[in-house]
Amino acid sequence: MHFISMIDQETIQRIMDASRIEEVIGDFVSLKKRGANHIGCCPFHNEKTPSFYVSPSKGIYKCFGCGEAGDVVKFLMKHEHYTYPEALRWLAEKYHIEIREEELTEEQKERQTERDGLFHVSEFAQKYFADLLFNDEMGRAVGLSYFHQRGMSDEIIRRFGLGYCLEEWSNFTDHARKNGYSDAVLEKTGLTIFKDENGKHRVYDRFRGRVMFPIYSISGRVLGFSGRILSSEKQAAKYVNSPDSDIYNKSRILYGLYQARSAIAKANKCYLVEGNVDVVSMHQSGVENTVASCGTSLTVEQIRLIKRYTPNVTVLYDGDSAGIKAALRAVDLLFAEGMHVRLVLFPDGEDPDSYAQKYGSSALQDYLVQHEDNFIMFKTRVLLDGVKDDPIRRAELISDTAHSIALVSDMLERAEYIRECAYLLRVSEEVLGNSVAKAAQQARQKAYERSASESSAEKTTDQEPPAQEMPANEPAAHADGGNGPVVNLLPEVERHLVKLLLDYGNNKVQQEITGEDGKTQIVEYTVAEIIVSELRRDQLTMTHPLCQRIFEQCSLMVDMMHTVDTSRFMNSSDEQLRVFAISLMMDTYSLSDTWRQKGVFIPKVEDNLLQDLTESIYAFKSNRLAQMIDELREQLRSATEERERELLVQIQQYSIIAHQLQKARNIVIAPHYNSY
């Protein structure tokens, strides 16, 4: 069945109120608490230093590396490629909020996007294969008995969504067609193969006669399948995997990560095995922090997926020569991504699955602990066995070892490798250290060249406007008319003023005002009302185009609702405006608990809000006047005699205003607010 959510605003609000952004993003990214925020490595671009911030109090995230920003719904749409209704439905399920759904009509099915169709048919297929495994006579006799023979319980089979595809030419395809799925969608997912042979149009199921291992996204969506044949047919491939599609790319997926992600984060370690059966067997044995590459050699993208949850990887490979070679191929990729890598080799002819079946779960867990080895040391020992006394091969081994050590980012760890490997290789630490330094320099040069070639394609979405739109450090005249250049502070001042609008616009501040009769009274206004009133009264605009647009929208909100609704910016269809607003709202600094332990308490922004507001308005006005005076003086250089007199009068007027503003710096100016 296909479903679509027709969600009313009240339900959407309940979903948003219940959703905790740090919990949701924490399902996909390993976050650490830092002050009021949480921080981790960005899931949208590769980085070694965390620059991805999540603010629970404001319900937003922001990456200061690539510029991605938004709220909890935006994160799911970006990360999991959900539509807006799908993201809401995911959140509703997570937080147990009931929503009404209506079945799609045939007309609506036809209008579905191709990508949605791929997701739907993949989920439909998984449920069908799983149903056959438990409820079809042939499924139980062939598929379920195979899993049971491998020591898998029904519970673990259901947890991984395992299934069986009948050994018939088009059983699944016929069933899918009856349920409204088109041939185009079936072909693009790879579930069905269409061929023209000898003038005949052939249709058959790709996975017929195989037990099925569905491959999930991190959030649990079915992306593709891996099917294992059970017959002894020699010409048939042991495993068949879904082809790459718009929703599935095997080089960017790890089998079992959906089921393992929480255990990986909790243990701060990930076990990496070779096959799907090994993953399920490890989970069955209680080692749930285990994943495997999906029918491909380990890739950089897969390593970065693991790194979201932990930098510690233990690679488990078969003890035969093929397993050792596979382990050695992975080492440089893992170290290059800043991972801490260890290795466990099983006895020749054994793998995690066979070892667990032969000796039991406890024995497997003990073996993992007792036989974990340092990857570089293992590599050096293995290669050293084949060198003997050949000086040329020994020199190559030293160079190869140095190359691997150079990829280790931690300096202390690198120094320890140099010391231990120098002893094994029977060379001085100085010789090996020099080789490592040379290899590190070459690696940095390659990284620099690669970064330079990619820089144009990876420009941040949070870039500042060009210099002519927002000068950062141009000389400006003194606001009081004095001589000498000063730094133009307008960009930063405007940012701070808009930040006050977004963060504290609805906060109320009180002012004590003395009237003409000498009596004092307390007046109360919101921060937004004061800012809007002050800038409107003096007819001042902001020089930063995005700051000015946010100010204009906030002004309209104050006029219409007497409040500022920041969700308008977080959900704006204007990507540049949305990212910029969230950047201003995100506080990246936090105070150490050490201060509180020492009895030092720093005042909150709210405690001095009126003072901050007054000084910010003053700073904006004085700097804006300085800029306007500077612009008028620039015009004097090429002005006619008549125009020169006009400019001088304007400069004098602005200078008087600037001087008056300077004198009134510490005076709170009561707003003259009116709804226009």
Q: Name the class of domain 257-363.
A: alpha beta
Query: Locate tokens 């099983």: which residue?
Result: 346
Q: What is the mean pLDDT of the chain?
A: 80
Strand segments (E) across 472-560: 475-476, 486-487, 508-514, 520-526
Bridge partners, 70 (sequence order): 61
User: What are the two backbone dihedrals, phi and then psi, of residue 54, each rounded to the nearest 5 degrees?
Assistant: -125, 125
Q: How many CB atoms lie within 10 A of CB 635?
A: 14
Q: What is the pLDDT of residue 666?
A: 45
Question: What residues are paired with 200 via a beta bridge?
Answer: 197
Residue type, 410: D
Task: Specify the pLDDT at position 471.
Answer: 32
Residues 6+ away with beta carbon under 8 Å from 419 = 429
Report pLDDT for 290.
Answer: 95
pLDDT value at residue 393: 80
Instruction: Identify the residue with better confidence: 443 or 92.
Output: 92
- CATH (residue range 3-103): 3.90.580.10
Q: How far apart are CA 541 and CA 539, in angstroms?
A: 7
Provide the token pair at 125.
């297929």
Amino acid at 26: G
SS3 (DSSP) at 56: coil
Fold of the domain built from segment(s) 372-460: Pheromone ER-1 (1.20.50)
8 Å CB contact between 157 and 193: no
Q: How far is CA 471 from the centre of its chain?
A: 32
Taking the C-alpha atoms of residue 279 and residue 215, their distance in angstroms, rounded to an integer, is: 12
Closest CA to 500 of 605, 402, 578: 605
Q: Tell me which of 263 and 590 has the higher pLDDT.
A: 263
Classified as helix, coil or strand, 5 is strand
Is the separation of the CB atoms in 257 and 291 below 8 Å? yes
pLDDT above 70: percentage of residues in the chain: 81
Using alpha carbons, list the distances in angstroms from residue 289 to 153, 261, 335, 415.
Answer: 18, 7, 20, 30
In terms of Cα–Cα distance, which of 338, 248, 354, 259 is closest to 296? Answer: 248
Segment 125-129 shows an average pLDDT of: 97
Strands 192-197 and 200-205: antiparallel
* Cα separation, 118 vs 128, whole angstroms: 15
Chain-centroid distance of CA 640 in Å reads 58
Residue 451 belongs to what H/E stretch?
helix 429-454
One-character DSSP codes across 308-338: TT-SEEEEEE-SSHHHHHHHHHHHHHHHHTT
Find all residues with CB under 8 Å of 410, minimum gap 6, and list them. Answer: none
User: Who wins on pLDDT, 534 or 254?
Assistant: 254
Residue 464: which of 117, 142, 67, 29 has the closest Cα? 67
Per-residue pLDDT, averaged over 85-102, amounts to: 81
Which range in 43-52, 499-508, 534-543 is most confidently predicted, on average pLDDT? 499-508
Q: pLDDT per residue over 180-238, tens digit each? A: 999 999 999 999 999 887 778 889 999 999 999 999 988 788 999 999 998 777 677 88
pLDDT at residue 467 greater than cutoff 80: no
* pLDDT of 462 above 70: no
Residue 147's pLDDT band, with cuts at 50, 70 and 90, is very high
pLDDT score for 460: 39
Identify the band that residue 674 occupies on the pLDDT scale cut at 50, 70 and 90: very low
pLDDT for the residue numbered 482: 42
pLDDT band at 109 (very low <50, low <70, confident <90, very high): low
According to the model, what pLDDT value does residue 102 have?
Answer: 55
Please state, in angstroms and rounded to a whole number, the distance separating the CA atoms of residues 364 and 374: 19
Residue 520: pLDDT over 80: no
Per-residue pLDDT band for 25 (boundaries 50, 70, 90) equals: very high
Task: Please give the average per-residue pLDDT across 26-30, as a whole number.
Answer: 88
Region label for 55, one of left (φ > 0), alpha (ψ between -120 and 50) or beta (otherwise): beta
Residue 2's nearest CA partner among 161, 110, 157, 162 is 110
pLDDT, tens digit, 9 for 90 and up, residues 579-625: 888 888 887 665 555 555 655 555 566 667 888 888 888 888 888 88
- How high is the pLDDT of residue 122? 95
Backbone angles phi, psi at 215, to 5 degrees: -110, 125
* Three-class secondary structure of residue 197 per DSSP: strand
Calculate helix-pair angle for 72-79, 84-94, nearest 10 degrees.
Answer: 110
pLDDT at residue 448, as a whole number: 58
Of the pLDDT bands very low, low, confident and very high (cuts 50, 70, 90), residue 450 is low
Output the pLDDT for position 640. 82
Residue 169 near residue 208 (C-beta atoms within 8 A): yes
Which residue in 17, 46, 647 sits closest to 306, CA to CA?
Answer: 46
Q: Which residue has the tokens 């319900």?
A: 59
pLDDT value of position 171: 95
Q: What is the pLDDT of residue 559?
A: 79
Amino acid (one-letter) located at 622:
S
Q: Which residues contact 236 (CB under 8 A, 6 or more apart)?
A: 229
pLDDT higher than 70, residue 668: no
Least confident of 89-93, 266-270, 349-353, 446-450: 446-450
CATH of segment(s) 113-248: 3.90.980.10
pLDDT(481) > 50: no
Q: Of 68-82, 410-424, 511-525, give the lowest mean pLDDT range.
A: 511-525
Other C-beta atoms within 10 Å of 454: how many? 9
- Output the pLDDT for position 401: 84
Query: Residue 477 — very low, low, confident or very high, per pLDDT cuts 50/70/90?
Result: very low
Cα 113 from Cα 366, distance rounded (Å): 50
**pLDDT at 208 (0 to 100):** 94
Least trusted range by pLDDT, from 101-115, 387-401, 482-496: 101-115
Q: How far is CA 622 from the centre of its chain?
A: 41
> How large is the average pLDDT for residues 403-418?
82
- Cβ atoms of 211 and 143 within 8 Å: the answer is yes
Q: How many CB atoms lie within 10 A of CB 94?
A: 16
Q: Which of 194, 191, 184 is nearest to 165 (CA)?
A: 191
Nearest to 379 by CA among 399, 396, 404: 404
For the chain, the first-to-last Cα distance in angstroms comes to: 53
Domain boundaries, the chain: 3-103, 113-248, 257-363, 372-460, 475-587+604-663
Whole-number percent of the chain with pLDDT over 90: 21
Query: Could you tell me which residue, 275 or 520, shows the higher pLDDT?
Result: 275
Q: Please state the pTM of the whole predicted model.
A: 0.62
pLDDT beyond 80 at 127: yes
For 538-556, what is the mean pLDDT? 85
- Range ranked top by mean pLDDT from 46-50, 156-160, 267-271, 332-336: 156-160
Closest CA to 1 of 93, 139, 105, 110: 105
Residues shown for the chain: 676
Residue keyed to tokens 């006619």? 640
